[in-house]
């Protein structure tokens, strides 16, 4: 079900700045049996986003109650929380008083075949490149046309994701997941300081795998990686089997991360 | 008044991709006595935007009828047309079938004092820089967080606009208007091929002032311009009096453009 500002409903005012300008943030959160193992990290990222966009921080306890209400009878689901700057006068200027809009909605969990976790998924190499915008990088804001354009590049259901680079030829992420690689024996994940989203699954993995290097990952280095895999707060850790014609095999790094993910999910 | 998909209303579905991802376009159009002198140009830009975003093109005749209906009794007003990709499954992938959402709403015309047209307006020099994204440059899409952040940099009502640069130190535009300058005796307007919006007032002026050069305008060149002025489909042609401490005086170029604008508005 869906709650809009705490009330059951499915609509928002057409003049909401979330729609007029993409002026807001969102989180998509994995719920399992009324538990959301990465909840605290989602709330931390949302708070950082609010600070960056100069929006009032939400009440995390209120959001938790609303998220639990939205899940209803669903044992496993995805809760999307959208927080916008609400309505205001026409024009870009911030409203004199901000009354944010919050939308809390539950969706069925996407079904990922077991084979994807065992053998990996295939990726399309996207032509759409992410622009450098350090003011918006890392946070999960509502300006997602780059991701929409990248995702529109393929239609083959056998391809699970797209590999997206920045305009300098560095690999950044998938369209809706972060990326890890093992290059010359070193575990790395691309920096999201200039573009891309700082995923909460990525953050949880970085805390656990302290030797992982956060740095630029040129496409050429990505091509010769011995392992390549994705992290997503919804889908967990997925090996990459191929990007176009470049093939990869799952190795010890992705298996270790999958075990850690499983432990995180069970511990909660 | 406001029409949503042709019906009087003020709300849209909370799952509209316009809100979820800023997945759509908009136009703000000056109406005067049931006439919109730049209507055709607005429709052209909207069609280009739809092509760029792979959205079905709207029916311009239908939009015209809805815009006239929305203006109601208002003699002078601004009509905002918002066109989104409508609803779909959760996720960035384009819906299998797109049913766009259109919102047509009339707003009072912003009041610009006569003195602003005569003596000019003051601008703040924004620190927020626009990212290079040629895939989205020029079109008026709903991903406007850069403009929101730039506009949030000042609060002084004596400052009418902000001057916005790209990340290379070239001046691009104001937050909600295009920009013209006279540099070394040459009329120039910044290129919007990598960032910025290709304004319809700018397009009308470029058609009439064929000697105007479209090129990069480094901030340093802008500082020593003999004239600086703004173009907006709503507010028309506005001289710039000052950007921070750098002062400008209106000259023959802005006066010629103001006369042309006036003629365009009266001819319609």
Q: Which of A148, A175, A176 to mutate to test the interface with B (most CBs of B within 10 A)?
A: A148
Q: Which residue of A has its CA nearest to B133?
A: A131
Q: Do A82 and B19 touch (CB under 8 A)?
A: yes
Q: Minimal Cα–Cα distance from A181 to chain B, Å? A: 24
How is B147-198 classified by DSSP, letter by letter? HHHHHTT---TTEEEEEEEETTSBEEEESSSEEEEEETTEEEEE--SSSSB-
Using a CB–CB cutoff of 8 Å, tell me whether B262 touches chain A: no
Pick from A11, A54, A93: CB nearest B11: A11
Instruction: Tell me what percent of the residues of chain B surpass a pLDDT of 90.
Output: 96
Q: What is the predicted pLDDT for the residue at A267?
A: 82
B126 and B141 in contact (C-beta within 8 Å)? no
Q: Do B82 and A19 touch (CB under 8 A)?
A: yes
Outline which parts of chain A fall under CATH 3.20.10.10.
114-267
Check pLDDT > 90 for residue B198: yes
Tokens of A261: 């993910």
Q: Do A22 and B93 touch (CB under 8 A)?
A: no
Q: Do A92 and B144 touch (CB under 8 A)?
A: yes
Q: Do A92 and B176 touch (CB under 8 A)?
A: yes
| Mean pLDDT, chain B, integer | 97
pLDDT band of residue B89 (cuts 50, 70, 90) is confident
Check pLDDT > 80 for residue B76: yes
Per CB-CB distance under 8 Å, the chain A contacts of B23 are 144-145, 148
Q: What is the predicted pLDDT for the residue at A34?
A: 84
Q: Do B151 and A22 touch (CB under 8 A)?
A: no
Q: What is the predicted pLDDT for the residue at A137?
A: 98
Q: Which residues of chain A fall below pLDDT 70?
A: 268
Q: How many other C-beta atoms can be found within 10 angstroms of the C-beta atom of residue B95?
A: 13
CATH number attached to the domain at A114-267: 3.20.10.10
Q: Which residue of A has its CA nearest to B89?
A: A107
- Angstrom CA distances, B215 to B135, B146, B180, B187, stand at 18, 22, 11, 10
Q: Minimal Cα–Cα distance from B4 to chain A, Å? A: 8
Residue A108 burial (C-beta neighbours within 10 Å; 0-12, 13-18, 19+): exposed
Instruction: Tell me what percent of the residues of chain B surpass a pLDDT of 70.
Output: 100
Place of tokens 């470049």: A246
- Measured at the CA of A12, the angle between CA A110 and CA A37, to 5 degrees, comes to 35
DSSP3 helix / strand / coil % (chain A, rounded to 5): 30, 35, 40
Q: Do B144 and A107 touch (CB under 8 A)?
A: no
Using a CB–CB cutoff of 8 Å, tell me whether B79 touches chain A: no
Using a CB–CB cutoff of 8 Å, tell me whether A193 touches chain B: no
Per CB-CB distance under 8 Å, the chain A contacts of B83 are none
What value does the mean pLDDT take over residues B216-240?
98
Pick from B11, B92, B167: CB nearest A14: B11
Q: Minimal Cα–Cα distance from B11 to chain A, Å? A: 4
Cβ-Cβ pairs closer than 8 A, A with B, add up to 161
Q: What is the predicted pLDDT for the residue at B74?
A: 87
What value does the mean pLDDT take over residues B188-213?
98
Q: Whole-angstrom Cα distance, residue A115 to residue A145?
A: 31
pLDDT band of residue B73 (cuts 50, 70, 90) is confident
Outline which parts of chain A fall under CATH 3.30.470.10.
2-108
Q: Could you tell me which CATH class the domain A2-108 is placed in?
A: alpha beta
Q: Minimal Cα–Cα distance from B13 to chain A, Å? A: 4
Per CB-CB distance under 8 Å, the chain B contacts of A21 are 22, 142-145, 147-148
Q: Which residue of A has its CA nearest to B96?
A: A155
- Judged by phi (left if over 0) then psi (alpha if -120 to 50, else beta), residue A196 lies in left
Using a CB–CB cutoff of 8 Å, tell me whether B19 touches chain A: yes
Using a CB–CB cutoff of 8 Å, tell me whether B154 touches chain A: no
Q: Whole-angstrom Cα distance, residue B131 to residue A195?
A: 10
How is B38-80 classified by DSSP, letter by letter? THHHHHHHHHHHHHHHT-PPP-HHHHHHHHHHHHTT-SEEEEE
pLDDT in tens, B115-158: 999 999 999 999 999 999 999 999 999 999 999 999 999 999 99
Q: What is the ipTM of this complex?
A: 0.97
Q: Minimal Cα–Cα distance from B210 to chain A, Å? A: 31
């Amino acid at each position: 079900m869906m709650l809009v500002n705490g009330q059951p409903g499915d609509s928002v005012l057409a003049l909401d700045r979330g729609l007029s300008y993409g002026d807001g943030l969102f989180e998509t959160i994995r719920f399992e049996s009324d538990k959301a193992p990465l909840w605290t990290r989602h709330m931390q990222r949302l708070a950082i986003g609010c600070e960056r966009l100069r929006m009032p921080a939400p009440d995390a306890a209120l959001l938790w109650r609303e998220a639990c209400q939205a899940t209803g009878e669903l044992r496993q689901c995805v809760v999307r929380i959208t927080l916008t700057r609400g309505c205001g006068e026409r024009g870009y200027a911030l409203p004199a008083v901000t009354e944010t809009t919050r939308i809390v909605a539950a969706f069925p969990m996407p079904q990922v075949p077991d084979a994807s976790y065992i053998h990996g998924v295939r990726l399309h190499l996207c032509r759409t490149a992410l622009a450098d915008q350090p003011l918006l990088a890392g946070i999960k804001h509502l300006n997602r046309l780059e991701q929409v354009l990248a995702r529109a590049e393929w239609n083959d259901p056998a391809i699970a994701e797209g590999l997206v680079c920045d305009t300098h030829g560095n690999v950044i992420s998938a369209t809706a997941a972060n990326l890890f690689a093992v290059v010359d024996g070193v575990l790395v994940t691309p920096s999201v300081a200039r573009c891309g989203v700082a995923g909460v699954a990525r953050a949880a993995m970085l805390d656990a795998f302290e030797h992982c290097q956060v740095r630029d990952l040129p496409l050429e280095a990505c091509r010769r990686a011995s392992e390549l895999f994705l992290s997503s707060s919804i889908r967990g850790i997925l090996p990459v089997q191929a990007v176009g014609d470049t093939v990869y095999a799952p190795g010890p790094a992705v298996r270790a991360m999958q075990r850690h993910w499983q432990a995180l999910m069970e511990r909660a």
